[in-house]
Amino acid sequence: MNKNLKVIVSGGGTGGHIFPAVAIAKEIKSQFPNAEILFVGALGKMEMEKVPKEGFEIVGLPIAGFNRSNLLANIGFPVKLFKSLIKAYKVVKGFKPDIAIGVGGFASGPTLFMANLTGVKTLIQEQNSYAGVTNKWLSKKASKICVAYPEMERFFPKDKLIFTGNPIRKDILNGNLSKEKSRTSFGLEKDRKTLLIIGGSLGALSINKAISKNLQKLLNEDIQIIWQTGKTYIDTAKEAVGAVHTTRVYVSDFIYEMDKAYAASDFVISRAGALSVSELSVVAKPAILVPFPFAAEDHQTKNAESLSKNNAAILIKDSEISDKVEEIIHSFSNNEGLLQELSENIKKFAKPNAAQEIVAAVKNIIKK
């Protein structure tokens, strides 16, 4: 294989797309140090900030998603799509990649379409248990489709599927951290049961409101809390913590050291995005999953159901979390058997070698 491998990685919009994309890119660089990797994202989305911080170059397209709930909001969509297709064509022709990898998100559509049009081989990484419209459309020309859940032949040609799982950050994969030291790094007691609350990279309003409303009741369960709120809720959360006069809550808008947060925790409340589910599986944490009900094709609910039907997580509807959070935390904090069972079952979904398997697929496609 050409040692100067050239790869385009396209997609983004949320951490659930970006972090797996970066994990794939880092694995490529690990195996091919001279490889040239170019990311293609959507202007104004978080990949434009996060990807350069990881040391990779990124180009932005003026693309935006199609708003299914408010059709009038799509007046400018055709123009943005046309401009994005033109720019994607120029990027692909100028960079001359050996392969283009799509990880989902707005930018992957124009980029992989133009890669296919110009004869560049493509690979799709579908992170969810319910495939998105763009990936289903792109799959017709893709060489291979790496998936994170079984039974994805419902959406894609069976002969193209590779069951790899979702790639996750190496610091989480390599996490052999002490629970006690991890807790003290957040300013918490080393011997007290700990609840981790994560609402995804942007925060989760319903979860945040439920925690604010029930904070004192949760603390009455003799637990301590690590609470990631997202930027828009951090001030409200700090007020709620201040009102109960406690030192048993660490609150932050974003947690960069998620390996320590997972190590510190005994159980987790989380959205059910693909990345969160994959990380929780690898670290084998008992989880209460609260799917975001307005995610595209309601894919978070389907992600959560794939675990809950195997007794690998507890699924709580978004509309019910405020009323049920105290009851369920009570059952978690007082039932070691339940925690052990959930931990053992969710670990069965773990795919710790996902990045290596995806890169192996990349190599096979290029060889052919």
210 is in an annotated binding site: no
Give the Cα separation of 173 and 167 in Å (integer).
10
Residue 279 assigned as binding residue? yes
31 annotated as belonging to a binding site for a ligand: no
Closest CA to 44 of 121, 118, 135, 107: 107
Please name the residue that has the structure tokens 């109960």.
244
Burial class (CB in 10 A: 0-12, 13-18, 19+), 309: exposed
- 16 assigned ligand-binding residue: yes
CA 357/CA 147 separation, integer angstroms: 11
Task: Provide the 3-class DSSP secondary structure of residue 293.
Answer: coil
**Do the annotations mark residue 278 as ligand-binding?**
yes
Q: Could you tell me if residue 34 is left (phi over 0), alpha (psi between -120 and 50 degrees) or otherwise beta?
A: alpha
11 is in an annotated binding site: no
Query: CB atoms < 10 A from the CB of 68, how many?
Result: 11
194 is in an annotated binding site: no
Please indicate if the annotation marks 7 as binding a ligand: no
Q: Interhelix angle for 15-31 vs 354-367, to 10°?
A: 60
Is 340 annotated in a binding site? The answer is no
Q: Any known ligand binding at 274?
A: yes
Token pair 């808008």 is found at: 253
Contacts of 217 (CB under 8 A, 6+ apart): 326
172 is in an annotated binding site: no
275 is in an annotated binding site: yes
| Whole-angstrom distance, CA of residue 114 vs CA of residue 308 | 39
8 A C-beta contact, residue 212 and residue 236: yes
227 neighbors 252 (Cβ within 8 angstroms): yes
List the one residue out of 269, 2, 54 whose CA is nearest residue 169.
54
Any known ligand binding at 228?
A: no
Q: Is 201 annotated as a binding residue?
A: yes
Q: How crowded is the C-beta side of 263, counted as CA atoms within 13 Å?
A: 21
Residues belonging to the binding site for UDP-N-acetyl-alpha-D-glucosamine are: 14-16, 128, 169, 201, 255, 274-279, 300
Residues that constitute the known binding site: 14-16, 128, 169, 201, 255, 274-279, 300
